[in-house]
Amino acid sequence: MAGHQGEQHQQTDNRLGEAASAYLRLHADNPVDWREWGDEAFAEARERGVPVLASVGYATCHWCHVMARESFADPAIGALLREGFVAVKVDREERPDVDAALMGAASAFTRHLGWPLTAFLTPEGLPFFAGTYFPPEPRQGAPAFREVLGAISQAWREQPDAVAGTAAQVQEALRSASRGSRAGAAASGIADAGDAADGAPDSVAVRAALAKVADQEDTRFGGLGEGQKFPQAPLILALATAHEAGAGASAPQPLRELAGRLLDAAAGDDAVVAGGGYSRLRGRDGGFFRYATQRDWSVPHFERMLVDNAQLLHVATQLGRETIAAGIVDFLAEVLRLPSGAFAIAEDAESLVDGERVEGGWHEPQHADAQRERPPLDRLVVTSANGLAIEALAIRALRDDDERALALAVAAAEHLLAHHAPEAGALVHASLDGVPSTAAATAADAGCLASALLALTDATGEARWATAARRILESAPDPAETTDQGPVLQLGPASDGDAPSGRRRSRAPCSSSTRSPPTPRTSSGRPACSTRDSPCRTRSRAPRRCGSRGSSRSRPARP
């Protein structure tokens, strides 16, 4: 068997070894002919007359690791992909534009959105089927990955017109959903910047929208909704700062109180954390996990993201939660901070326990007496996420006279200005170990970094930060423009998720951070491309997702 695998590896044309992405490099030794997203991969698909498989994930995603071990490490799966597809790996942190577009398309086929995201596209870049995690064998109604590949290949060969029709239907549904979201926003008074005369919703509209959040509060266990529980940092921040939405109006105290309850629900018990345990979403070192899989906040999903913790630090500072804020500063300083002074994008959900990878192994008390290693970091430095961290640290330093937070913010900002924004028009989206990614910078990168530098101006009184912010904004990418790195993808409705997307010119706090993108629908009101309508359907129900976009979705059963 070992010899057979060696032969497979010798035949493999895997091109991820030099990628500027830790996630892509994790797949560099797969027996799969992986390509990076770009024109070259789609040109190869056109030349061969085969569809493109785009597998989207990120380096710290537990279920991405599971599918990699179960399927992408299997030489037989590699052979199927080599024969019938051009296989493309995408790091959602490196290519948020591709991730957003494919996630929007996936919503036409399944409600269970998340990562790993598995999408099939024509050589022109049009998605015609998508799902999330697929097991190696049929399990709990989900089809096996090899069955999905077989169904896609058969449809591609035998029903090309149906495949093309599905792809066109998805594109039109996404365009329609995008138009519908703008019309709905205008009707409700929450217009896009381009639709409002002054470029932003007024304070009355903002507060009216935020007040509706209270209807979703779980009065039994805390948090929002009755499914999985997320920290909802952008939404809590909007609630906590609603009094800043307009001058002359009284501060909406009920909204701040709601923000406090939501933060406290996610943070759990201070005494448990101080005693060396984790409580709800807060680890013993102060950092917050991604989400909890149960309504009562039990069974966390243990990965820890910079975007979540940066915004929760901002929230805790705004609400005067000193213990929570200090704990997050500790986590940023002692866990996510890299030798360069910048911050890694995330900490893995898995760690080695007695030589085996275990989700939550570093945090679960039952492993305390085992030999265990810290979870690895995804060392990718993302400009927008670092901007959120720098801003939160600067605000913390200013409000609470926290010199450590200020030193962390200054060090990270100096690194980004030197290496991610060295001159006008040269903004870098991400880098790995000092090597810049070829992925184009986004409007979110420019906006978040500039906002951070303005916060540093307030915290230090130094004009150099404001000067740098102005330079970045003057040459910021236009959110309406597409890059030339691969096919142009149709985006769905503009919305923020777990962090500002940059697709709206105003940072209205009532963006859809608590919801998934609207499902594209036909004129009849049905989902545009339900699993049963698709020529690529399998006999099983729509697959379930592994990672999460930040809304209440079911978690797949553990393999």
Amino acid 558: pLDDT: 30
Predicted local confidence at residue 202, as pLDDT: 76
How many CB atoms neighbour CB 517 within 10 A?
26
Residues 305 and 317: beta-carbon distance below 8 Å: no
Homologous superfamily assigned to 16-177? Glutaredoxin (3.40.30.10)
Helices (H) and strands (E) in the chain, counts: 18, 15
Distances in Å between the Cα of 372 and the Cα atoms of 250, 349, 378, 402, 535 are 52, 13, 18, 33, 47
pLDDT, tens digit, for every residue of 104-156? 999 999 888 899 999 999 999 999 999 999 999 999 889 999 999 999 999 99
Predicted TM-score (pTM) of this structure: 0.85
Closest by CA to 123, choosing from 86, 79, 150, is 86
At 378, is the secondary structure helix, strand, or coil? strand
> Which residue, 213, 202, 186, 190, is CA-closest to 245?
202
Q: Is the distance from CB of 28 to CB of 65 less than 8 angstroms?
A: no
Residues 37 and 15: beta-carbon distance below 8 Å: no
The first and second tokens of residue 298, run together, are 């039990």
- Write the class of the CATH domain 222-475: mainly alpha
Q: Which helix (H) or strand (E) holds 304?
A: strand 304-305
- Range list of H helices, 35-159: 39-48, 62-67, 75-84, 96-106, 145-158
Q: Residue 252: its pLDDT value, please?
A: 72
Instruction: Supply 447's token pair.
Output: 């906006």
Helix axes 383-400, 443-460, angle to 10 degrees: 20
Q: Check if the beta carbon of residue 35 is closer than 8 Å to that of residue 42.
A: no
List CB contacts of 258: < 8 A, sequence separation 6 or more.
213, 214, 217, 239
Preceding amide of 376 cis, omega within 30 = no
Residue whose entry in the numeric block shows the structure tokens 């080695």: 352
**Axis-axis angle for helices 253-267, 306-319 (nearest 10):** 130
Q: Give residue 543's Cα distance to chain centre.
A: 20
344, 338 contact by CB (below 8 A):
yes
Closest of 26, 108, 145, 136 to residue 516, by C-alpha: 108
DSSP 8-state class, residue 554:
P
Per-residue pLDDT at 199: 55
Domain segments of the chain as ranges: 16-177, 222-475
Q: What is the DSSP string of 227-289?
A: SSB---HHHHHHHHTGGGSSTTS---HHHHHHHHHHHHHHH--HHHHHTT--BTTB-TTSPBP
Q: How far apart are CA 355 and CA 370, in angstroms?
A: 10
CA 144, 148, 153: angle at the middle one, nearest 5?
A: 145
**How many alpha carbons fall within 13 Å on the CB side of residue 305?**
26
- CA-CA distances (angstroms) from residue 38 to 87, 88, 123, 124? 12, 9, 11, 12
- The CB density around residue 188, as the number of other CB atoms within 10 Å, is 13
* Cα–Cα distances in angstroms (integers) from residue 326 to residues 156, 322, 392, 401, in the given order: 55, 6, 12, 12
Token pair of 467 as six digits: 């000067």
β 304-305/346-347 pair status? antiparallel
Which residue is it, tokens 């986590």?
331
What is the CA 521 to chain-centroid distance, rounded? 24
d(CA 20, CA 420): 14
Reading the chain (559 residues) residue by residue, the pLDDT tens digits are: 333 444 444 578 999 999 999 999 999 999 999 999 999 999 999 999 999 999 999 999 999 999 999 999 999 999 999 999 999 999 999 999 999 999 999 999 988 889 999 999 999 999 999 999 999 999 988 999 999 999 999 999 999 999 999 999 999 988 887 775 555 555 544 444 344 444 567 778 888 888 899 999 999 999 999 999 999 999 999 999 887 755 444 447 899 999 999 999 999 999 999 999 999 999 999 999 999 999 999 999 999 999 999 999 999 999 999 999 999 999 999 999 999 999 999 999 999 999 999 999 999 999 999 999 999 999 999 999 999 999 999 999 999 999 999 999 999 999 999 999 998 889 999 999 999 999 999 999 999 999 999 999 999 999 999 999 999 999 998 876 766 677 877 776 666 667 676 655 433 322 223 333 333 333 333 333 433 344 554 433 333 334 555 433 333 333 2
Chain segment 443-477, per-residue pLDDT in tens = 999 999 999 999 999 999 999 999 999 999 999 98
Q: How far apart are CA 347 and CA 364, in angstroms?
A: 16
| Dihedral (Cα; 286, 287, 289, 295), 10-degree rounding | 30
Dist CA 162 CA 155 (whole Å): 8
